[in-house]
């Protein structure tokens, strides 16, 4: 760590260790661990393979959004049509990007195990199907999911931080996060404090995301905005910028508990924020639209929008997910149609 007046360089490496390489006694800190006072005073550097220096911006000056322009561009995406081999590849890619989810008060270990089986065996009569990317459950169900998915590549994601409302103390939210990670969660889906954000208390939200990121340890962090409560595209762009600088690995539209959930205009605004963050910092951030995506056609339109906004590097489940369990069966129906020429009834596909 080097210091020169108002310039401080922090090295952030892809590991859970907070010791400087080559010097186990000298501590260093990722930029997202700093409090807002320090954050506003210094220039930071992020390092993986190479050093890129950047400054935490003033989030009140995030770009404003041309809503008409966004809607016109989305309308063009909705006219795209993908056929034959490309369609089949796209449908399989959608399956591999889905986070199968059960987040209900009536969830049981048995229901979670059944969902995990489906995650690995989407429709066995179709050859060469991928698994889904992950299953998403409440923290008490993480251990059961982890055991059911043993020796598979399917990740276990857990919601946390008083999901879905986020109405709790920071202490409770951090305990919730640590508990999910200790149970074996590979990914944490947190919700922001929307009330604080809408009051303009951006430092509070930034510090909360940073604290949860630190509590995640090795687990990746998805930050849920609940865009249906944020009212404007300008608000969505600003929280996207804030969350990424605070340490989010993914940004996510919604909990799926309110309407509207994910929409293409909202997702496009978030993708453009990711693109601008990448151009500034060199760091890739993932995207997860969640809720409201139920057809294979809409899933393909999202993939077209993703590729044309961020490029091919984001076309994998490491960087893009669908939070839409009902989407899986519609995609499977389309794949059966492509193979046999006829649609099967929904009754041939498992609901869970």
Which residues carry out catalysis?
189, 252, 288
Assess contact for 306 and 274: CB atoms under 8 A. Answer: no
Strand pairing of 286-288 and 250-252? parallel
Return the structure tokens found at 211.
């604290």
Sequence-distant (≥ 6) Cβ neighbours of residue 337 within 8 angstroms = 343
Assess contact for 321 and 288: CB atoms under 8 A. Answer: yes
């Amino acid at each position: 760590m080097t210091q020169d007046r108002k310039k401080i360089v922090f090295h952030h490496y892809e590991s859970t260790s907070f010791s400087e390489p080559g010097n186990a006694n000298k501590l260093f800190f990722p930029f997202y661990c700093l409090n807002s006072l320090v954050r506003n005073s210094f220039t930071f550097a992020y390092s993986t393979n190479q050093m890129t220096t950047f400054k935490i911006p003033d989030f009140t000056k995030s770009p404003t959004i041309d809503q008409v322009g966004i809607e016109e561009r989305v309308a063009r995406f909705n006219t795209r049509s993908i056929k034959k081999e490309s369609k089949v590849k796209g449908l399989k890619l959608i399956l591999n990007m889905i986070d199968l989810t059960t987040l209900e008060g009536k969830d049981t270990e048995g229901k979670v195990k059944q969902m995990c089986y489906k995650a690995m065996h989407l429709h066995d009569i179709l050859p060469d199907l991928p698994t889904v990317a992950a299953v998403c459950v409440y923290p008490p169900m993480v251990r059961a999911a982890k055991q059911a998915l043993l020796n598979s590549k399917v990740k276990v994601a857990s919601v946390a931080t008083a999901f879905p409302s986020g109405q709790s103390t920071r202490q409770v939210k951090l305990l919730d996060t640590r508990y999910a990670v200790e149970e074996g969660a590979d990914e944490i889906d947190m919700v922001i404090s929307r009330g604080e954000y809408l009051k303009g208390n951006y430092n509070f939200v930034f510090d909360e995301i940073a604290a949860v990121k630190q509590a995640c340890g090795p687990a990746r962090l998805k930050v849920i905005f609940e865009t249906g409560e944020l009212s404007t595209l300008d608000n969505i762009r600003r929280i996207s910028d804030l969350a990424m600088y605070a340490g989010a690995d993914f940004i996510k539209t919604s909990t799926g508990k309110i309407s509207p959930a994910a929409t293409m205009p909202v997702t496009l605004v978030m993708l453009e924020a990711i693109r601008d963050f990448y151009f500034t910092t060199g760091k890739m951030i993932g995207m997860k639209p969640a809720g409201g995506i139920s057809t294979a056609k809409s899933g393909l339109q999202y993939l077209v929008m993703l590729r044309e906004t961020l490029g091919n590097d984001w076309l994998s489940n490491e960087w893009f997910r669908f939070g839409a369990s009902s989407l899986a069966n519609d995609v499977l129906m389309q794949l059966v149609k492509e193979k046999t020429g006829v649609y099967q009834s929904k009754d041939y596909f498992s609901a869970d």
